[in-house]
Amino acid sequence: MDLLLGTTVAKSIKEECKTQAKDFFEKYNRLPQLAVILVGENPSSQSYVQGKRKACDFIGIKHKDIFLPDTASEEEVLSTIDKLNDDAAIDGILVQLPLPPQINEMKVTSRILPEKDVDGFNPVNVGSLLLGEDVLSPCTPTGVLKILDYYNIKVDGKNVCMVGRSNLVGKPMSTLLLQKNRNATITICHTHTKNLKEITSKADILIVAIGVPGFFKADMVKEGAVVIDVGITRVLDPLSKKGYLWKGDVDFDSVKDKVSAITPVPRGVGPMTIAMLMSNTLKAAFRREEKK
């Protein structure tokens, strides 16, 4: 069984980004810049923003963090995005999700200019991705592809089962795998799928993102399959030093001896999200300068 370490792949991508950032500065005499909007004080979101800032500092990307209270109105958030859209020094804009209930996520993601949409959630980018265009694509699904490529796991002609249909992972993941440069045969499962075990146990590659820790047991996985566990949930554990553990959607201990390769949780898909955000920011910066 091969352990597919996202930490290793992410490190490689960040080194590539560091070189690209240096080239960008030498060519355009400025640093690429990412703006992050955080509404409220969600601990997980705050930690994630800190991780993004650390990655920016390492690579050479300027970062602008905007913190709004959880009482902020939808109009305040949209107005903040408008200012960043108009700011020529900003190459990428990201609004940290989830948002407080008074704010419509679709309105927010739609407001970001497609060329600055480094999360890949603007409907224009989503539609272009479906058509096979080279756009800024969602970071986590793109990160999964990078893991598969790094470890030379081919998806061409393979039966790939995607469990989860969210706009963040399931839908874009399936779209990317369907492209003619990937040629996977996709099955998408969700909460209304009948005979889930029967479907997942036939998949050559199983990708799961449902947010239910330890849900997928050995009898739900095909012998020799490749398993990509996107799920990550904080589970209370009084025996651990921190008082909690991070768990994936896959029951790792029961599955590991049956599969040919699997991503662990943590150190699997998680680190790829920030790495691909850095990559998208640089992609956006270069494209904006070239467009000028």
Residues assigned a catalytic role: 52, 96, 119
Name the strands in the sheet holding 33-39, side by side, starting at the edge strand that comes first in the sequence. 62-68, 33-39, 92-95
Which ranges constitute the DSSP H helices of the chain? 6-28, 43-59, 74-86, 105-111, 123-130, 139-150, 170-178, 196-200, 252-255, 270-291
User: β-pairing, 233-236 with 244-247?
Assistant: antiparallel
Q: What is the DSSP letter of 174?
A: H
How many CB atoms are located within 10 Å of the residue 34 CB?
29
In this structure, what token pair is assigned to residue 21? 């950032």
**Whether the Cβ atoms of residue 226 and residue 198 lie closer than 8 Å to each other:** no
DSSP 27-58: HHSS--EEEEEEES--HHHHHHHHHHHHHHHH
Q: What is the DSSP string of 274-285?
A: HHHHHHHHHHHH
Phi–psi pair at 144, nearest 5 degrees: -60, -45
Packing angle, helices 270-291 and 139-150, rounded to 10: 110
Measured distance CA(115)–CA(284) in Å, rounded: 6
- The residues near 170 (Cβ < 8 Å, ≥ 6 apart) are 162, 163, 164, 188, 190, 209
Exposed, middle or buried by CB within 10 Å (0-12, 13-18, 19+), for 131? exposed
Cis status of the peptide bond prior to 266, with omega within 30 of 0: yes
